[in-house]
Amino acid sequence: MTLVANPLLPGTYPDPSICRVGEDYYLVTSTFEYVPGLPVLHSRDLAHWTQVGHVVDREGMLDYEGLASSGGLYAPTIRHHDGLFWVVCTLVDQTDPTRGGNFIVTASDPAGPWSDPFWLATAGIDPSLVVDEDGRMWVHGTRLVAEPEWPQQTEVWLRELDRSSMRLVGPEHVLWTGAVRGAVWAEGPHLFAKDGRWYLLAAEGGTEFHHAVCVARADHVTGPYEGYAGNPVLTHRHLGHGGDVVGVGHADLVEAVDGSWWAVLLGMRPYGGYHHNLGRETFLVPVTWEDGWPVFAPGLGRVPHEVEVPFAEPTAPAGVPQVVPGGPVLPGDPRWTALRAPVTSVATADGDGWLLPVRPSTLADATTPAFLGVRQQHVDVDVRAVLDLGGLAAGESAGLVVRQSERDHVTLMATPGGDAFVVRAVHRRGGVETVLGETVVRPVDGGLTLGLRVRGQEYGLVVEEAGDDVVVAVADGTTLDSVATGGFVGLWLGVVATSAGRPTDSTVRVERFAYDPLQPLDR
**What are the residue numbers of the active site?**
15, 187
| Count of other CB atoms within 10 angstroms of residue 485 | 18
In the chain, the amino acid numbered 48 is: H
What are the distances in angstroms from CA 32 to CA 68, 76, 154? 9, 11, 22
- Contact at 8 Å (CB) between 228 and 217? yes
Cis bond before residue 232 (omega within 30° of 0): yes
Integer Cα distance of 9 and 151 in angstroms? 33
Asked if 443 and 421 count as a contact pair (C-beta separation under 8 A), the reply is yes
The alpha-carbon radius of gyration of the chain (Å, integer) is 23
Q: Which of 67, 84, 81, 2 is nearest to 31 (CA)?
A: 67
Q: In this structure, are residues 334 and 324 in contact, taking their beta carbons and an 8 Å threshold? A: no
Q: Spell out the residues 6+ positions from residue 165 whose beta carbon is closer than 8 angstroms to its own.
A: none
Determine the Cα–Cα distance for residues 422 and 426; give it in Å rounded to an integer: 12
Length of the chain as a residue count: 523
Q: Residue 19: helix, strand or coil by DSSP?
A: strand
What residue ranges in 146-280 does DSSP mark as E strands?
154-162, 167-176, 187-194, 197-204, 212-218, 226-227, 234-235, 246-255, 261-268
CA gap 225, 218 in Å, rounded: 5
Q: Please name which of 312, 330, 318, 181 lies closest in space to residue 256, comparing C-alpha atoms.
A: 312
Nearest 10 degrees: Cα torsion 276, 330, 335, 495: 50
Q: How far is CA 21 from CA 1, 313, 314, in A?
A: 22, 18, 22
Nearest-angstrom CA–CA distance, 24 and 18: 11
- Cα-based distances in Å from 197 to 171, 216, 219, 414, 507: 21, 10, 5, 62, 60
- List, as one string, the DSSP characters of 176-195: ES-SSTT----EEEEEEEET
User: Amino acid identity, residue 37?
Assistant: G
Contacts of residue 432, defined as CB under 8 A and 6 or more positions apart, other chains included, come to: none
Helix (H) or strand (E) holding 484: helix 482-485
